[in-house]
Structure 1
């Protein structure tokens, strides 16, 4: 059984989804998510409330790590990449090449990029901390402007005017 709720973040509406064990998805309103895949709307489900609270703290610059449990659904390779993403500290970035090397597969840069793009749990699994080798902000399912805003919030980039 899956449940979902919504949270109005400083960067727009976020949909949070969970099962009985953990968070399964966090999507900005620009993501394409089929409503029939979300489950039952239940704003007060404890895991959804915990995730919302931690996101509120994050956006208020009071939280640098998330402790809400996650339920990862993906291929073995995708889950490996997502776990590597979770090891990138708040306020730091890595390149796709760095991640490929971290998982012991330095030639898998494109596959790492693909797995990064399929990350269903935005912000908590910080795919926004991955940048091009030259530091360029590239692709983000929530939009590059949100990626920039998240990196600004974390102090990686100077605040834009």
Structure 2
């Protein structure tokens, strides 16, 4: 009963909004209240729990996987799971359009030239912006071995 009542009263909001004005928060908007999402989740005071973040992460991985499979139908069957995961990771990080902009890398992958694909990854603005992440993913592409980096963009719990 309480859940139903709150669901009706709060109403679902997919995107972050200002709880004081009800306006969606977009670049340049000055927040008057608190950034809020979903059914009244105050992101400033409540944030999200790690478990909630993991649900979102899994959802976003699934979405990136589907997008890569849909737009690069050859990739999942032609690449190992480890190399395909690099493409999903890149799509997760910069969006599908960002990944599709790596035309030299994608051509090298289709030709089975993993060394050249890794080189193309490192010869990019993305590498300059992400550093160790791009380095690790290029090495994963080149060697077909899982790589890791311990430099997350945020270490807050």
**TM-score clears 0.5:** no
TM-score when normalising by structure 1: 0.27
Larger radius of gyration: 2
Higher strand fraction (1 or 2): 1
Larger RCO: 1 or 2 (CA < 8 Å, sep 6+): 1
TM value normalised by structure 2: 0.27
Structure with the largest fraction of helix: 2
